[in-house]
Amino acid sequence: MSQEAAYTLLTPEAVRERSHELLRLGLAGQLGDWIVDPDRLPAAADLVAEVVRANYPSLDIPFHARWQHFAVGGRDRWDTLRREARFPDAAAAARAAFDLVILSVLLDAGAGPDWRYREAATGAVLARSEGLAVASLDAFATGGFAADGASPRADAARLGRITAAELARMMQAGPGNPLVGLEGRAALLRRLGETVAAAPRIFARRDGPRPGGLF
């Protein structure tokens, strides 16, 4: 696929087209693990509106994205990582960015009310999504998800064998700092590794199999 053709996939028109195709499949009961029930849409809309108004009465809703979490406190941690890693080119940096954001989003379920992460570089104590984002970025930067144990990347071979105990160390979790769903988070990363390894034509076109191989 040419670069120009790939860019067309990001246009609003292309997104709408593929979304309507997914909706068609869902309504036909052909999505496998998903069920689309149009009769539940009004209740879903009411619930969303209720939650939004309860949390943001003025409807001034802040932008929410994983990259924003990486920059909590006004510190652009990805930019620091990118400069220190000295990737050989922009494409290599982009593959690493894909690696990071994919695994970090999978780790971003509710951390629970008691978990905290202390960032070594700043001393900041973070919780919830921001804490999970910075913890995953720190682990990524020091090779926690790399096959060689040192590079800022995520390899399928490493993801496929990560344990809950290893993840707990990365997240500073333990009896005195409980992280909800630790076993499930580790299982998600292992599943990601297995999925990536099983599709080398997609994820290993320029490198060993890794989530960033999509790029």
Asked whether residue 34 is assigned to any structural domain, the reply reads yes
What average pLDDT does the segment 72-86 reach? 93
pLDDT (tens digit, 9 = 90+) per residue, 149-159?
999 999 999 99
**Percent over 90 (pLDDT), the chain:** 77
- pLDDT tier for residue 47 given thresholds of 50, 70 and 90: very high
Residue 26 pLDDT greater than 70, yes or no: yes
Range of the domain at 26: 3-55
Asked whether residue 61 is assigned to any structural domain, the reply reads no
Position 158 scores a pLDDT of 98
What average pLDDT does the segment 6-12 reach? 78
Phi, psi of 89 (to 5 degrees): -160, 175
How many domains are contained in the chain?
A: 2
Report how far residue 113's alpha carbon sits from residue 107's, in angstroms, rounded to the nearest whole number.
16
Asked whether residue 20 is assigned to any structural domain, the reply reads yes
Which of 118, 213, 135, 124 minimizes the C-alpha distance to 171? 135
- pLDDT tier for residue 2 given thresholds of 50, 70 and 90: low
Phi, psi of 149 (to 5 degrees): 70, 15
CB half-sphere exposure, 149, CA atoms < 13 A: 2
- pLDDT tier for residue 1 given thresholds of 50, 70 and 90: low
pLDDT (tens digit, 9 = 90+) per residue, 62-78?
777 888 899 998 899 99
Query: Within this chain, do residues 82 and 142 fall inside the same structural domain, yes or no?
Result: yes
Asked whether residue 60 is assigned to any structural domain, the reply reads no
Query: Within this chain, do residues 42 and 94 fall inside the same structural domain, yes or no?
Result: no
Query: Within this chain, do residues 49 and 72 fall inside the same structural domain, yes or no?
Result: no
- pLDDT tier for residue 110 given thresholds of 50, 70 and 90: confident
pTM above 0.85, yes or no: no
